[in-house]
Amino acid sequence: MEDAKSRRKKKVLLMGKSGSGKSSMRSIVFSNYVAKDTRRLGATIDVEHNHVRFLGGLTLNLWDCGGQNAFIDNYLSSQRDHIFKHVEVLIYVFDIESREFDRDLLIYISCVEALRDNSPGAHIFCLIHKMDLVQPEYRDAAFQEHAVILRRKSLGMEITCFATSIWDETLYKAWATIVYTLIPNGPILERHLTAFAEIAEAEEVILFERTTFLVIAHVTRGPVQNPFPDRFEKISNIVKQFKQSCSKMASNFTAFELRAHKFSAFIDILTPNTYILVVMPANAAESTTTLMNIATCRKHFEKLEVIDRAVGSLLTTESVPASSASSILASQRLARPVSPHLTIYQPQLTWYLSMTNRITGVAISGIFYLFTIGYVLASPFGVNMSAASVSRKWGELSAPVKLAIKAPLATMFSFHCWNGVRHLVWDSARELSVRGVYRTGYGVLGLTVASTVGLLLA
């Protein structure tokens, strides 16, 4: 029972440098985003868990790992066994335009080493991402150069490399291949599809997963080899965008029929969680006959679902309603540790500056509002809050009391002012590297000390 349960859960690690595009591709494939909508996605904090129900009992336990340096150091040290144990697939994403490829490579080697020690049988897929940023004539050479280096640095483990972009069908090709390696009954599906193709006299039959529209299995019987090897991925991309357009118009995509000069194509629901595409020759029977064949095939696959569920196999897809998905996600977030968890991270300068900036902002604003409210209410209560009165009261205070009041006010004002200038520098796209962040941080501390001393002596 425990073995069957473990076979249904497949742990997939999605790793790579921060900003390499991991969350964008995950959102496009599994959350029905379009490429332009991924611009509003924020950075991944620590590890985001997604349990994607896929093909019946098969659950992809997707771990989207944040790529910031602090998180990666933690994955490779204190959380090494937790992260890299029982992994079926490691998907490592490289930004083709990264200026720190050598450093990215060192992190990749460390991850492969941890994977080899904890999950030696895992598959590794390297996605050379953002290929759309490379000029078309240089893309293949750039991809091959990166792939050769990655194969040489993978510590003897076999890897598969893909050139990907969220703006074309290459993303679907890569993820369809990855998912296919996780489906243990792919050959069984293809055997049944072959039988159907022969009975229906179809040139090609393709089975898609309903939500992601990734290719699960396909059979080709045409006498002439199709000149478009990337047609499956193109179909996935086109149909998924068409489905999204239908949903925007409050319509549901159910079936599609296309008649051309040399062929006819039919897309229809096969099971509650799969679509089937049947390509017929131009001189084939009427469309009614093909639709009747699909209906007969549908009954056959429904029987297979019942049998496979009984024996614990993986054939069907389990769709999760939006309301249930939200409650499941909420319960998962409640069960996981607070992120980022202060007890497992090494304290850093960026922590303290970020926290202090917020604390000083709230404190200065609070003092300003309290003084303003006091000034407004002073007159009705007979309290003299004129400038002359305040100056006279301040002059009556002793030097130690004045220092005790001025020191915290001057420190908070100076720090918040200079750190605001630091943020303006960042807004101009400068000093955004790790060294730049620390350099400006130490600069803020130095200027704060100098300004505070100057204000105290004024």
Which residue type does 38 have? Answer: T
Single out the residue of 5, 16, 230 nearest to residue 105, CA to CA. Answer: 16
Q: Tokens 């001025």 correspond to what residue?
A: 406
Please state, in angstroms and rounded to a whole number, the distance separating the CA atoms of residues 280 and 263. 6
Task: Decide if 92 contacts 15 (C-beta within 8 A).
Answer: yes
pLDDT in tens, 145-187: 999 999 998 988 889 999 998 888 888 888 888 887 877 666 7
Burial readout 154-163 (b: 16 or more C-beta within 10 A, e: otherwise) = beebebebbb
Quickly count: other Cβ atoms within 10 Å of residue 115's Cβ. Answer: 24
Single out the residue of 128, 129, 161, 100 nearest to residue 35, CA to CA. Answer: 129
The predicted model gives 304-316 an average pLDDT of: 49
Quickly count: other Cβ atoms within 10 Å of residue 355's Cβ. Answer: 10
Please state, in angstroms and rounded to a whole number, the distance separating the CA atoms of residues 104 and 124. 16
Domain ranges for the chain, please list them: 2-182+318-343, 186-311, 347-457
Highest-pLDDT range among 6-20, 99-113, 285-299: 99-113
CATH code given to domain 2-182+318-343: 3.40.50.300
How far are the Cα atoms of 154, 245, 246, 266 from residue 241, in angstroms, in the given order?
Answer: 36, 6, 9, 17
Residues 6+ apart with CB under 8 A from 27: 33, 37, 38, 41
Kind of pairing, strands 89-95 and 123-129? parallel
As its CATH architecture, domain 186-311 has 2-Layer Sandwich (3.30)
Please report, rounded to a whole number, the percentage of residues in the chain having pLDDT higher than 90.
18
pLDDT in tens, 400-427: 888 888 889 989 999 999 999 999 998 8
pLDDT in tens, 114-143: 999 998 889 999 999 989 888 888 889 999
pLDDT surpassing 80 at residue 283: no
The sign of the CA dihedral 317, 323, 329, 332 is negative
Cis bond upstream, residue 347 (ω within 30): no
pLDDT surpassing 70 at residue 304: no
Please state, in angstroms and rounded to a whole number, the distance separating the CA atoms of residues 442 and 418. 11
pLDDT in tens, 432-445: 888 888 899 999 99
Please state, in angstroms and rounded to a whole number, the distance separating the CA atoms of residues 257 and 237. 17
Q: How confident is the model at residue 55 (pLDDT cuts 50, 70, 90)?
A: low
Task: Decide if 54 contacts 30 (C-beta within 8 A).
Answer: no
Task: Decide if 14 contacts 22 (C-beta within 8 A).
Answer: yes
Q: Which CATH class is domain 347-457?
A: mainly alpha
DSSP annotation of 381:
G
Which residue type does 236 have? Answer: S
Residues 6+ apart with CB under 8 A from 279: 202, 203, 204, 205, 206, 263, 264, 265
* Model pLDDT, residue 128: 92
Please state, in angstroms and rounded to a whole number, the distance separating the CA atoms of residues 57 and 44. 28
Single out the residue of 214, 295, 243 nearest to residue 52, CA to CA. Answer: 214
Determine the straight-line distance between the first and last CA of the chain, rounded to whole angstroms. 77
Please state, in angstroms and rounded to a whole number, the distance separating the CA atoms of residues 89 and 110. 16
Q: Tokens 């089975």 correspond to what residue?
A: 207
**pTM of the entire predicted model:** 0.59
Q: What is the mean pLDDT of the chain?
A: 80
